[in-house]
Homo-oligomer: A and B are copies of this chain.
Amino acid sequence: MKFSTSEENYIKSIYHLQQQGGVVSTNNLASELQTKAASVTDMLKKLNAKNLLHYERYQGFTLSDEGIKVALGIVRKHRLWEYFLVHKLEFGWDEVHAIAEELEHITSPLLVEKLDTYLSHPKFDPHGDPIPDVNGKMELRQQVNLIDLALNQEAEVSAVGSQSTELLELLKHKNIGIGTLLTVVRKFTFDNSLEVKVKNFPPFSISQQLAQTLFLKPTYGSTTVGSISK
């Protein structure tokens, strides 16, 4: 079945919201899509009629199995294009989301597979989020939030919880990127800031706000599954 750009954007947003909170609400989705609750209800009826949703009036909704399959296809395209934009066209990490938001709606399935091959089947996008394969399977990388990382446990930065220019600017200043190895050497309870150490650099401080947007994969042993962004 084929879907309009608008339908696809709704499906993908529902997918992301239900990853976090389980059942999704109308207002929730409306604010995510920058639209009004009435518009959401209209679209819910349409998606429900196409069997993409589990939906009870006034009771919230989630994607059906079919809906999830469709969502994963769009997420796959979005993240593959982001990878292309950053690694081939040399876009900055914070510039690609809006463009991928358009490219994800290009219809040709052959294009997606050729792009995937051209990029050598990447497993993660530039923000550290996993790229689903043709069948919707993706690596659920073991991730810990930096806030929860044990002292002196080395870990590799693998994802970020935001894609804002502001975050990118700060990470560049601190010389942190996807792949950076670091350890937490001290935690301060006053402001929940962390003193961290990266090889060949002097120790430096990371604020609570920054730590909360960084997700890492411990170098040995491991832990919980972290939340994931677009």
Task: Encode A98-142 as 1/0 by CB contact (under 8 A) with B.
Answer: 110011001110110011001000000000000000000000000
Q: Which residues of B contact A111 (CB under 8 A)?
A: 85, 89, 99
**A91 contacts B by Cβ under 8 Å:** yes
* A95 at the binding interface (Cβ < 8 Å): yes
- Give the docked Cα–Cα distance between A111 and B111 (Å): 18
Taking residues whose C-beta sits less than 8 angstroms from the other chain, chain A's interface range is: 10 to 19
The contact string, 1 if C-beta is below 8 Å from chain B, for chain A 68-102, is 00000000000000000100111100010011001
B91–A98 touching, CB < 8 Å = no
Main SS class of interface, A? helix
The CA-CA distance from A107 to B100 in the complex, in Å, is: 11
What is the total number of copies of this protein in its complex?
Answer: 2
Q: Is the CB of A102 within 8 A of B91?
A: no
Q: Report yes or no: A89 in contact with B114, Cβ–Cβ below 8 A.
A: yes
Q: Complex: how many Å from CA A90 to CA B116?
A: 12
Nearest-Cβ distance from residue A2 to partner chain B, whole angstroms: 13
Of B91, B95, B98, B106, which is within 8 A of A103 by CB?
Answer: B106
Q: A89-B115, A89-B118, A114-B89 are in contact. Are A102 and B98 (CB under 8 A)?
A: no
**A59: min CB distance to chain B, Å:** 37
A residues apposed to B, CB below 8 Å:
85, 88-91, 95, 98-99, 102-103, 106-108, 110-111, 114-115, 118
10 closest residue pairs by CB, A with B: A89-B114, A99-B108, A102-B106, A89-B118, A99-B111, A88-B118, A103-B106, A89-B115, A102-B107, A91-B114
A85-B111, A88-B118, A89-B114 provided; 13 other pairs, C-beta below 8 A?
Answer: A89-B111, A89-B115, A89-B118, A90-B114, A91-B110, A91-B114, A98-B108, A99-B106, A99-B111, A102-B106, A102-B108, A103-B103, A103-B106
